[in-house]
């Protein structure tokens, strides 16, 4: 969908649907042709006063706008960037429901008052783009694109903060990167195998972005025994994908690692059948990493550092050659690992990626994103992801990026006794702790990974609760969320 922005008077707005965004307590601004309808609605008490409340109006006489939607932003004191993002998503959804081909969103002067223009524009651009997203599943019928082809923000002539117009376009590009990640996450495992995920990553190469992918023979040469152990139960070969963005004169290198299990049955430690179809989403960490590079390629994110995207990707199936509980494998840094549960496989493919990244690129910092544990859903639900790390400054930067982007995080602790729980009698480490006896499943997953980053500042984001199945909001209605793309863009861009 094309998204633009301009400054102008309401009466000049030529569009299928004009959305007037106003705060509770103010009289909405409307073009002259809608004043009679507004007066009638006000007399009847039909002006919405609650957050996301709306009312459709029609013009009397000639009008350049065919319809007008009053959209209430709620109380001004509660109106933050996340609410603005949701409101823009509501506007896009209303436009699609009304079969509008074009839409203009007009924030009132009171909506704009006192706001940072860049943050306001980003939120509105992102919300419009993400709100219009619809996954097109495979079908014998020809895909029907949504009617809404053009959307924009009509900035008020007075009171528009500096930077608003330019930021809308950037926000739309960031939203498109989120939608790209959603598309990857929503694809079923047979249509997005490790090799096909590598092919999607390769499309992002060009300019300052370079691509390479290691096949299983190359991974074996580099002694990546952990990811190869997970992959050996599947006929689909694993890949280790690398995207390298180098802006030139970069003073720092940051590695961004994303778990890419394109399907996870649990292996020999088989998952319950109910809901196993949702394991298409077990690659959403990798989708966030690729979404970041989509944003970089489009110009929505312009990091000043060298960014290395690393995606270990495989399937985890209970085939005849699958690893068994009790097997011992060796990661590429020489660490031996006792596999007590084959369904704790995400940390196995990640440990090779982390260890290899640390040795090869010598990064100044590492961030990884993974749908790692069901325990994080018990702890934090579906709206907030966990952040766990070994460097408080780096963790705090991630938390701040989560706050600014709307991809919310909450910090969990990581202590020496958590790391001690991961030691094995039969190898250097084991891939789970003692479960109910010790608890803290989300922390134990991070504790395992911490052995492979050493002293490099590192933060682990467990996004198992936020990658899909969130509560519906203005810019999200189901399926993969694209969580992490905006967070990474704020953290690194």
Angstrom distance (rounded) from CA 214 to CA 439: 36
In terms of phi and psi (left: phi > 0; alpha: psi -120 to 50; beta: otherwise), the region of 115 is beta
Angstrom distance (rounded) from CA 383 to CA 379: 11
Which two three-digit tokens encode residue 287? 């989708």
For 358, the 3-state DSSP assignment is: helix
* β-sheet bridge partners, residue 255: 308, 366
Angstrom distance (rounded) from CA 81 to CA 111: 11
Name the burial class of residue 378, with classes exposed (0-12), middle (13-18) and buried (19+) by CB atoms within 10 angstroms of its CB: exposed
C-alpha pair distances (Å), 36 with each of 24, 43, 60, 61, 123: 20, 11, 7, 10, 32
DSSP string, 8-35: --GGG--EEEEEEEE-TTSPPP--GGGH
Which two three-digit tokens encode residue 134? 């619809």
b/e string for 337-375 if b means 16 or more Cβ within 10 A?
bbbbebbbbbbbbbbbbbbbbbeebebbbbbbbbbbbeb
C-alpha pair distances (Å), 32 with each of 15, 106, 128, 420: 15, 15, 26, 71
Any idea which residues carry the catalytic annotation?
271, 347
Q: Tokens 């778990």 belong to which residue?
A: 259
For 201, the 3-state DSSP assignment is: helix
Q: Which helix (H) or strand (E) holds 365?
A: strand 365-370
User: Are the beta carbons of 224 and 356 closer than 8 angstroms?
Assistant: yes
Angstrom distance (rounded) from CA 128 to CA 425: 54
DSSP string, 114-135: T--HHHHHHHHHHHHHHHT---
Angstrom distance (rounded) from CA 321 to CA 37: 70
User: Are the beta carbons of 14 and 178 closer than 8 angstroms?
Assistant: no
CA dihedral 353, 359, 364, 368 (to 10 degrees): 10
C-alpha pair distances (Å), 268 with each of 29, 339, 358: 63, 11, 31
Angstrom distance (rounded) from CA 475 to CA 90: 7
């Amino acid at each position: 969908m094309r998204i633009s922005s301009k400054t102008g008077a309401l009466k000049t707005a030529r569009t299928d649907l004009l959305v007037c965004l106003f705060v509770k307590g103010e009289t909405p601004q409307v073009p002259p042709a809608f004043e009679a309808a507004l007066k009638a609605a006000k007399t009847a008490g039909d002006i919405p006063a609650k957050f996301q409340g709306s009312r459709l109006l029609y013009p009397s006489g000639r009008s350049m706008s065919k319809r007008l939607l009053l959209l209430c932003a709620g109380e001004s004191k509660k109106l933050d960037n996340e609410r603005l993002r949701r409101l823009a998503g509501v506007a896009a959804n209303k436009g699609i429901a009304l079969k509008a081909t074009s839409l203009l969103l007009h924030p009132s002067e009171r909506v704009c008052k006192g706001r940072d223009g860049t943050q306001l524009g980003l939120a509105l651009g992102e919300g419009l783009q993400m709100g219009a997203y619809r996954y097109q599943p495979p079908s014998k019928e020809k895909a029907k694109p949504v009617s809404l082809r053009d959307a924009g923000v009509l900035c008020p002539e007075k009171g528009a903060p500096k930077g608003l117009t330019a930021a809308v376009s950037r926000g739309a590009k960031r939203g498109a990167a989120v939608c790209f990640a959603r598309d990857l996450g929503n694809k079923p495992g047979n249509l997005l195998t490790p090799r096909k995920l590598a092919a999607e990553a390769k499309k992002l190469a060009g300019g300052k972005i370079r691509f390479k992918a290691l096949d299983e023979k190359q991974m074996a040469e580099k002694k990546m025994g952990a990811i190869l152990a997970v992959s050996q139960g599947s006929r689909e070969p694993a890949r280790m994908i690398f995207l390298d963005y180098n802006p030139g004169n970069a003073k720092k290198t940051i590695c961004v690692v994303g778990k890419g299990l394109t399907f996870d049955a649990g292996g020999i430690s088989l998952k319950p059948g109910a809901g196993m179809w949702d394991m298409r989403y077990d690659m959403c960490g990798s989708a966030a990493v690729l979404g970041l590079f989509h944003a970089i390629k489009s110009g929505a994110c312009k990091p000043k550092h060298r960014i290395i995207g690393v995606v270990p990707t495989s399937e985890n199936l209970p085939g005849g050659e699958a690893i068994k509980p009790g097997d011992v494998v060796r990661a590429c840094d020489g660490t031996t690992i006792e596999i007590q549960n084959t369904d704790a496989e995400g940390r196995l493919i990640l440990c090779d990626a982390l260890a290899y990244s640390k040795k090869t690129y010598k990064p100044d910092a590492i961030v990884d994103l993974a749908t790692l544990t069901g325990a994080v859903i018990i702890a934090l639900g579906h709206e907030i992801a966990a952040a766990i790390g070994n460097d408080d400054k780096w963790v705090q930067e991630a938390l701040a990026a989560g706050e600014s982007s709307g991809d919310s995080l909450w910090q969990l602790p990581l202590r020496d006794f958590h790391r001690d729980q991961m030691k094995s009698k039969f190898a250097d480490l084991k891939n789970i702790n003692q479960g109910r006896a010790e608890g803290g499943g989300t922390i134990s997953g991070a504790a395992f990974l911490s052995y492979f980053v050493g002293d490099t500042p590192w933060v682990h984001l467990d996004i198992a609760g936020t990658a899909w199945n969130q509560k519906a909001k203005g810019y999200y209605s189901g399926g993969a969320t694209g969580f992490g793309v905006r967070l990474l863009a704020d953290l690194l861009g």
